[in-house]
Amino acid sequence: MDQLSPRPHLSHRPTSPLSGRTTVPGDKSISHRALMFGALAVGQTRISGLLEGEDVLRTATAMRALGAEIRREGTDWLVSGRGLGGLTEPADVLDMGNSGTAARLLTGILSTHELYAVITGDASLRKRPMGRVIEPLHATGAQFFARAGNRLPLTILGARDPMPLTYRLPVASAQVKSAVLLAGLNAPGYTEVEEPEPTRDHSENMLRHFGAEVQVTEAGMGRHIRLKGQPELRAADVAVPGDPSSAAFPLAAALLVPGSAVTVANVGLNPLRTGLFLTLREMGAKLEVTAQRLAGGEAVGDLTAFYSELRAVDVPPARAPSMIDEYPVLAVLCAAARGTSRLRGLSELRVKESDRLSATAAMLRVNGVNVEIEGDDLIIHGNGAIPGGGLVETHMDHRLAMSGLVLGQTTKLPVRIDDASFIETSFPGFLKLMCRLGAEMTAA
Ligand code: S3P
């Protein structure tokens, strides 16, 4: 979704509390994987709760172009897979829009399918590094041709006789881990990945769910993952829980607006995704988890946030992988908290949909908050009252757009964002949902 006409929005402090019970759209990570794994399996996979955001719809379109049959039936999605190794050459370039996860995981899959494919994306995605997946995937025997700096568009000539990989991740990235594992699916023997710190394990969980043999062992501070190649992948139904990274926005708004109480039901609570909720508790947030259960192999629960007087927090770098997408909205909460917060070890934020480290600092600064970046740390001097009145530049980044709008719920003057359109990539219906809870966000 390249930006044709930006949609500026304005967020005002509401006159009454936020309240209500809601759900948020399905988990983005799990949704991409369900479509991809369904396309690689034999038989029909039924997916309920799929995120129907731009990013995931791009994955559906790409998997169709590679030969899978994918259709919506009622509120479910049905995927008729090609069987492992059965993908066919796409007739055109695969455009993954704004989605790094879609581009990187698909590069993994295609590296061990003997076909020619070209992957591209929007202006944001074409700036993001693909070298982190190309580098390990070379050893499968695939060939890659990319723009300078390993940027998209990327041409892939998949390996004729794929080799399994053994790789130690240089950065904590679930996308890179998953690209290597997905490449290993269509290679003989064992593919092994070692990650220095645990990152979200949706690929490992879902591969098992589809019948693959995946062993995970603790290795130092991280994990060692071993996948047996060429498994019989069998179609398996997937129930996608609500995305905790999306739930973060209405919950954060409730924490900021006096008197509020908001419940988000059926949120995924995979322990490798819940770093934000732990951090919020350290800040003194009143956050309750109820109805905890297992659904489709993933932990889920209902989360209720009550307005809270927040205090500053010091977040260690080791927690980053479990809350990597939540730093922009956490930074908003830190700005409203009393005291100086330090969010440490955020180098990976520089290579997200935008350079989120500098864009988050700029969002706060332009609204009157005292912020510094020291190395890879973000330091926020909160004093409870935020002037606001600034224009947030969102840089084609959905999470900056939503964070800017949440910020405006607590500032003295309204906060303007330059473009709300990219919210569609991960959280369709965000503005309506927030307004139903009592937030004041309008087109401007
Ligand atoms: C994702 C992993 C994370 C995250 C992204 C989704 C995934 O990226 O930021 O939104 O689904 O694997 P990295 O693993 O590259 O940090």
Instruction: Give the model confidence (pLDDT) of 235-265 as tens digits.
Output: 999 999 999 999 999 999 999 999 999 999 9
Question: What is the β-pairing status of strands 415-417 and 116-120?
Answer: unpaired
Average pLDDT over residues 303-332: 98
- Which of 239, 274, 300 terminates a domain? The answer is 239
Atom of ligand 1 at shortest range from CA of 177: 14
Residue 314 reports pLDDT greater than 60? yes
Do 348 and 320 share a domain, yes or no? yes
Do 46 and 129 share a domain, yes or no? yes
Band (295; pLDDT cuts 50, 70, 90)? confident
- Which of 193, 212, 239 terminates a domain? The answer is 239
From atom 11 of ligand 1, which residue's Cα is the shortest distance away? Answer: 29
For the chain, how many structural domains are there in total? 2
Here the tokens at position 38 are: 């369904």
pLDDT given for residue 3 in this prediction: 53
Do 208 and 66 share a domain, yes or no? yes
Looking at residue 112, which CATH number applies to its domain? 3.65.10.10
Do 161 and 191 share a domain, yes or no? yes
From atom 5 of ligand 1, which residue's Cα is the shortest distance away? Answer: 101
User: Does residue 178 line the site of ligand 1, with CB under 6 A?
Assistant: yes
Do 227 and 265 share a domain, yes or no? no
Expressed in angstroms and rounded, the spacing between residue 24 Cα and the centre of ligand 1 is 19
Band (4; pLDDT cuts 50, 70, 90)? low
Expressed in angstroms and rounded, the spacing between residue 174 Cα and the centre of ligand 1 is 6
- Pocket mutation for ligand 1, best pick of 58, 99, 101 (most atoms within 8 Å of C-beta): 101
Do 131 and 21 share a domain, yes or no? no
- Other Cβ atoms closer than 10 A to 217: 9
pLDDT given for residue 183 in this prediction: 98
Inside any domain, residue 1: no
Task: Find the domain containing 97 and state its range.
Answer: 28-239
Expressed in angstroms and rounded, the spacing between residue 385 Cα and the centre of ligand 1 is 33
Average pLDDT over residues 28-40: 98
| Residue 42 near residue 87 (C-beta atoms within 8 A) | no
CA-atom Rg of the chain in angstroms? 21
- Which of 191, 210, 239 terminates a domain? The answer is 239
Inside any domain, residue 83: yes
Band (275; pLDDT cuts 50, 70, 90)? very high
Inside any domain, residue 389: yes
Do 301 and 271 share a domain, yes or no? yes
pLDDT given for residue 320 in this prediction: 98
Atom of ligand 1 at shortest range from CA of 32: 11
pLDDT given for residue 266 in this prediction: 98
pLDDT given for residue 297 in this prediction: 77
Atom of ligand 1 at shortest range from CA of 321: 16
Expressed in angstroms and rounded, the spacing between residue 412 Cα and the centre of ligand 1 is 34
Q: List active site positions.
A: 325
pLDDT given for residue 296 in this prediction: 74
Per-residue pLDDT tens digits for 353-379: 999 999 999 999 999 999 999 999 999
User: Does residue 175 line the site of ligand 1, with CB under 6 A?
Assistant: yes
Do 399 and 295 share a domain, yes or no? yes
Residue 2 reports pLDDT greater than 70? no
| Residue 423 near residue 25 (C-beta atoms within 8 A) | no
Do 263 and 334 share a domain, yes or no? yes
| Residue 88 near residue 115 (C-beta atoms within 8 A) | yes
Q: What's the mean pLDDT when you consider all of the chain?
A: 97
Average pLDDT over residues 136-140: 98
